[in-house]
Structure 1
């Protein structure tokens, strides 16, 4: 049964124009309510969904180069023995030449605002122990130890208030590599006496957190980090100070001992499934948090938007880092990407701010979904060449569908087939970065979250969404470079007879190309079954890292739901780590997967 947007064209356009005006008022001007001075506790975090992180310190002056040698990895750890291993005395001498005269607090606040971010969190003290503000608790600080003799935190907090942004501090509360008693710090004081963690905590950590929460105006967030073996009573004292001095401020989950207000994912980790409660993903514009002279692998605007909308679509907040240079300037390429992504957000704020997670609980092959009450926003990153966009499992009645562009909303048609909604789109994407489709529903969306096999491109399904029988889903995390984390959740610990099983929804019956992404040792034999149907198996050599391997073709004889099972059959199966399965419909004219045939024809 087909559903169309009916009525006279003139009346429809008038209704769309009126609706667009309402949305401009609702999502344009009303976002001012997210100004810091008007926000309730946690509102900027929970509704703003996007923030700027800044890693800046003495380490920025080195930029990952020490004595002519470049150290590849995250710059703020350059002092650590795993990188350059700089002695405390030598590191402290860097302060004498730190003179960041290009630092412009108003320009940074404006960049965050242009990017669409709602608050800024900056490193007041990282693990190196250097205070990037004027601290009375320790003279190893930017005012007393450098020729610049300026407190940039005073300037940045004022600039954020002027711009209507929230402001917060990163503070490394356990590690301090230059103060006696801090974790990984000197074990004796300046007089040669043994130093304890309590010495560090009472002489430096506690008074510095008191300073930060009393001398810089309203604070949106205090971002503690790496609690390590820090005892609970220490963390509780810090949290109590924040609660007393800044009752509207949030405390990051990395405070430790479950005393924070929200959960923080691992560095650079964007989750694939919805997560309940308040949480954030922290990421960086390239590979290093602090400035590294060689690191030019910047995230393009589309990648920034993809990761941002992925976080919002999973129910969380995205905090994206910049690393100013030793002079205090923001790298131009990072700033350009942020502004370009921000320009898109300015035109489509309803996609990002004050929205809820996707009811599908995972991304779609073409993009992602965010929700505001009975309205859904489809962010289409990969525009379908077929002119049809497939939406599986939507149970709630559709009232209308509109394609948004340049402040206009164009009605589009849709059809219902086998429980899927099929949207009829123009042949070309209206937006260069991300196109947006708005769907009005009769009620809050209710969906069947089963993975649909997209008739255009097929669907990759991660192992973490499988029901496993015998095998285990584990967290596999590693560094490509020091501090550059990669995280996947594979199915592993295979034994004979173990399975990973997914339920899939098939709209287009026929043959599908099957590919597995995995790692392991030696040649592995994998078996793939349509439960109750066809079985295939194949041997491929394992990669040292995750790589996609072709297995063969499977047939789904009719539309409907099927279970697909994967087993590791032969070889060093105990080493096998399965990341995902990809099922792609075959192009009936070329006998190849549609996504491959499309690429070959260009």
Structure 2
């Protein structure tokens, strides 16, 4: 395979110092040194692209264990009947034992900064109604109700300012499980009188939002959550308070009634296609937002970087959560992953900060792409052992290609043919987490976003990128356990003759292995066609969850564009849900055809 590809692309060497004079400018001082104290409204969100979320409260000292029983799910919902169902009076008693003496605001701010994050958002009040700050609006707060008698929000806001980080609050504005009248809260007050949402809103919610926006210095963000059936005029009143007291601050998309400044995707959702406008993905370092004693499924530095760059590559911001324990300490394994990912960001800040979405609109099989002006940053997570990296669909002239290593770079040879760019790279990845290639273009990137089938790795293509008839793309969102969300956009509700069709670009002709990822009921028969060409079909047993199943081989006799179609032919086709198709080259069968196509291409 390597020899054939070498025949396909003659090596073109580029002068080592062609753009050396641009090195300093390419780093972009304003993005590397992006700080809260000199940022414009929304700049840390829109240009910083990376933030720390913190879920910390009374629930953290339980760690998902109540009366010796462990509850599996997100810890901040431990009161809920679907979890431990703790009565209000019993839950309030926890405050008498909450004494997080190991909380260190400066250490947390330093962790966020070491991780490469640009601001922190922390739970001032979650659905449990407990104020993690000194609130005059309710005595169920960390100063009045606990032996610690400390306001950690004062300490953390000061630590963030000292570190040059932005600071913001999460505030559950509709749900309050312990204050009379709050959504899902007590329906009568302490005297037994009926309580309404208006009571909660005027007596607690409005005063607390005023406190948070006037007593803690400059605020970057107010992150409202779960508005439920909250009336628009209530949400507008809260937004007006934020605007009046903190004109610099953004309001989260979960305020409700489209009154926020940006869109927040579903919990733990990282999109596969570019999303227009300002938006964020919110994710967590393990499975639970708040601390859970058993949850040791930490994201590795590789996973953190991959999900971060996927969000930036789709045009958004990534806010990644940590859950300090009952003593106020971030678990060390989570902190270690964040720091290691942050070390990579410090070497490659221009990949993350102040960059735009990939013009391809989707990831590549080997990683992802971010853009700044006429520069493409290729973050390669799956390094090609062949020593050849393939980039399909780039139409703009490449002036320079270089492999970055901190502030150093190595010029790379490349060749372009048949709408593809081949980069000659070392056979061993220079970086453990992700290696970065910078392409300097003659102008802003112009690309053809057609999915190219990668000759090294093959390519998986999601159903949401297909043209579909006789079926529909639907959101499929479920919990693996309570609060641990997974989201897919499969092709479903199939009818006879329904098809999902993709256009693909084949560089290396030959046989390709075809796999489908789907879920459904019972045994299903799927058909896959090269439109105008070969047809295959096979029966496999469906699963309750998405799994990948082999279907067969398809042949693409020459390089070029093809359309492939997938249909659900037999079985319970109405409930079948197709997530994706994967095409993988069978390299040992493509050598001869590749060499033949090479001679044809070389004459063009």
**TM-score calculated relative to the size of structure 2:** 0.95
User: 1:275 aligns to what?
Assistant: 275
1:8-407 correspondence runs (5 A): 12-13=16-17, 17-24=20-27, 26-27=28-29, 31-32=32-33, 34-407=34-407
TM-superposed CA distance for 1:574, in Å, is 0.8
User: 2:600 aligns to what?
Assistant: none
Separation of aligned partners in 1, 2:532 and 2:20: 52
TM-superposed CA distance for 1:16, in Å, is 5.5
Separation of aligned partners in 1, 2:67 and 2:590: 59
The alignment partner of 1:199 has SS state of helix
The alignment partner of 1:588 has SS state of helix
Separation of aligned partners in 2, 1:430 and 1:415: 21
The alignment partner of 2:199 has SS state of helix
The alignment partner of 1:579 has SS state of strand
Unaligned runs of 5+ in 2: 1-8, 592-604
TM-superposed CA distance for 1:590, in Å, is 10
Given the alignment of the two structures, is residue 558 of structure 1 paired with residue 558 of structure 2, yes or no? yes
Separation of aligned partners in 2, 1:356 and 1:60: 37
TM-superposed CA distance for 1:408, in Å, is 1.1
Q: Higher mean Cα deviation, 580-589 or 63-72?
A: 580-589
Given the alignment of the two structures, is residue 503 of structure 1 paired with residue 503 of structure 2, yes or no? yes
- Contact 1:16/1:410 (<8 A) preserved: no
TM-superposed CA distance for 1:22, in Å, is 3.6
Separation of aligned partners in 1, 2:548 and 2:522: 15
User: 1:596 aligns to what?
Assistant: none
- Contact 2:31/2:353 (<8 A) preserved: no
- Contact 2:301/2:433 (<8 A) preserved: yes
List per-residue Cα deviations over 1:115-148 (Å, max 9, x = no partner).
0000000000000000000000000000000000
List per-residue Cα deviations over 1:151-180 (Å, max 9, x = no partner).
000000000000000000000000000000
TM-superposed CA distance for 1:198, in Å, is 0.2
- Contact 1:3/1:416 (<8 A) preserved: no
How many residues are aligned here? 583
List per-residue Cα deviations over 1:72-104 (Å, max 9, x = no partner).
000000000010000000000000000000000
**TM-score calculated relative to the size of structure 1:** 0.95
The alignment partner of 2:460 has SS state of strand
- Contact 1:459/1:583 (<8 A) preserved: yes
The alignment partner of 1:99 has SS state of coil
TM-superposed CA distance for 1:23, in Å, is 3.5
- Contact 2:388/2:422 (<8 A) preserved: yes
User: 1:422 aligns to what?
Assistant: 422
Separation of aligned partners in 1, 2:47 and 2:428: 32
TM-superposed CA distance for 1:294, in Å, is 0.2
Q: Higher mean Cα deviation, 41-50 or 582-591?
A: 582-591
TM-superposed CA distance for 1:588, in Å, is 1.6
The alignment partner of 1:359 has SS state of coil
User: 1:595 aligns to what?
Assistant: none
What RMSD over aligned residues (CA atoms) do the two structures have, in Å? Answer: 1.3
Separation of aligned partners in 2, 1:458 and 1:2: 23
Separation of aligned partners in 2, 1:16 and 1:233: 56
Q: Higher mean Cα deviation, 75-84 or 402-411?
A: 402-411
The alignment partner of 1:568 has SS state of strand
Separation of aligned partners in 1, 2:180 and 2:24: 61
Separation of aligned partners in 2, 1:510 and 1:2: 22
